[in-house]
Structure 1
């Protein structure tokens, strides 16, 4: 192998590495973002310390839906919560039952014990372009009931897709 062949080989490898870095940068900046779950507010769905991959493109083409687990961008901190009520809907909790527009809503993603920790509130009308969110661990969650308030659409950064760390818990999020 001559000097020019080795030089071309290095050029090709360098070009491939730079292209890979550029693709990774574009994906990280515009398509996917990772977030480490901080605290117990989404247990048992997401546990403290897990790294979650969020899809940033989803909400460029679609609106958040009830049940989506989203990342909420706030100046001091990002939050991971579940969308409960959509713009224009009315939400209330009475006797451990969540009502959306007066109809009971099945929350199969939380335990009966967590239903008891939801408390009583409402009815509350959700403003246009805003969402009502709650953590799955209702007792420990700071959410739309007690501090976060309504979440504007522009503060929702992405939809959770996968748990990527720890590796033995790698899975899609439901």
Structure 2
């Protein structure tokens, strides 16, 4: 009888710990679009770190899952609060300085500034807002369509790609 009770208590404890992890720390997510190719492909499975949002630790280069209009999207943070963001002849500029984008594999020949995005009034990103772009830049299901992404709409940052197994990845910044 004691063995059954101990097993039951261990099971309940494991369920409580798992619920805590999913509610507050990490969640699994399956990529449903090819907008982040070649970094992430449709069908890839990732672990999303929700703590980075809660602890205000999101930063330039993070691959994030966010929600817009009831749909989940994956993108990369290109601009943080307080930064000015622009593209000049295909070159990303943050605070008027060129920035390398090693994760882009196709030329993105564009010229625009943050103020030209939907519902954005300045080139300076306001507090708790992020400029998020897809790595596959011809797919505009990102800040170019939705405007700046509010911190409240951020689910978390990609921590680990665990499937497919032969493409396990921890660092998504290059």
Scaled to the shorter chain, the TM-score interval is 0.7 to 0.9
Give the match for residue 132 of structure 2. Answer: 133
Say yes or no: does 1:40 pair with 2:31: no
The normalised TM-score by structure 2 is 0.87
Alignment of 1:41-120 (within 5 A): 41-111=35-105, 113-116=106-109, 119-120=110-111
> Given the alignment of the two structures, is residue 121 of structure 1 paired with residue 112 of structure 2, yes or no?
yes
Question: TM-score, structure 1 length as denominator?
Answer: 0.87
For 1:3, the equivalent position in structure 2 comes to: none
Report if aligned partners of 1:42, 1:141 keep a CA contact under 8 Å in 2: no
Distance 1:85 1:95 in 2: 18
State the distance in 2 between where 1:32 and 1:83 align.
19
Q: Can you list the C-alpha shifts for 1:60-93, whole angstroms capped at 9, x where unaligned?
A: 2233110011111234211111000111222111
Query: Structure 1 residue 151 and structure 2 residue 135: aligned?
Result: no
Q: Which runs of 5+ in 2 are unaligned?
A: 116-122
- Structure 1: distance between partners of 2:169 and 2:93: 30
**Shift in Å at residue 155 of structure 1?**
1.2
Larger Rg over CA atoms: 1
Q: Secondary structure at the match of 1:171?
A: coil
1:170 and 1:25 mapped to 2: Cα distance?
A: 25
Unaligned runs of 5+ in 1: 1-6
Report if the CA contact (8 A) 2:28-2:46 is conserved: yes
Secondary structure of the residue aligned to 2:159 is strand
Q: Pick from 155, 165, 173 the counterpart of residue 171 of structure 2.
A: 173
CA change 1:114–1:121 in 2 (3 A) is: same
